[in-house]
Amino acid sequence: QVQLVESGGGLVQAGGSLRLSCAASGRSVSNYAMGWFRQAPGKDREFVATISRNGATIYYTDSVKGRFAISRDNAKNTVYLQMNSLQPEDTAVYYCAAASSAYAAKLGSANYWGQGTQVTVSS
């Protein structure tokens, strides 16, 4: 019932910034907690950030705290991930997901997934 399309990825120098967007179609994202995940080459998928339906609850993985910020605009049916102070270890394919709750997303559970957008950070 939900289709998710990520955009905004690309190549950036270490210390730089990118802003990822996730546009949804079908059911409104206001019905879901939204999350971001990433997968680096040769590594498992990793939880990055999640935000509850009304934005009151936000979780980040420790490695991005203070650098990344998740936000949502339900009127635009879009969720964002602002990434600052990027480092080479942030290089990965980033995936947007819709989940039943922020707590579920934190544990890696989601109902719908996007196709991903590549983020590459050079040193």
Q: For the segment 11-44, what is each residue's pLDDT rounded down to a tens digit?
A: 999 999 999 999 999 888 899 999 999 999 999 9
As a whole number of angstroms, the distance between CA 61 and CA 84 comes to 15
Q: What number of helices (H) and strands (E) belong to the chain?
A: 1, 11
Q: Is residue 30 a contact partner of residue 74, using CB atoms and an 8 Å limit?
A: yes
3-state secondary structure of 41: coil
3-state secondary structure of 84: coil
As a whole number of angstroms, the distance between CA 26 and CA 58 comes to 24
Give residue-wise pLDDT tens across range 54-83: 999 999 999 999 999 999 998 999 999 999
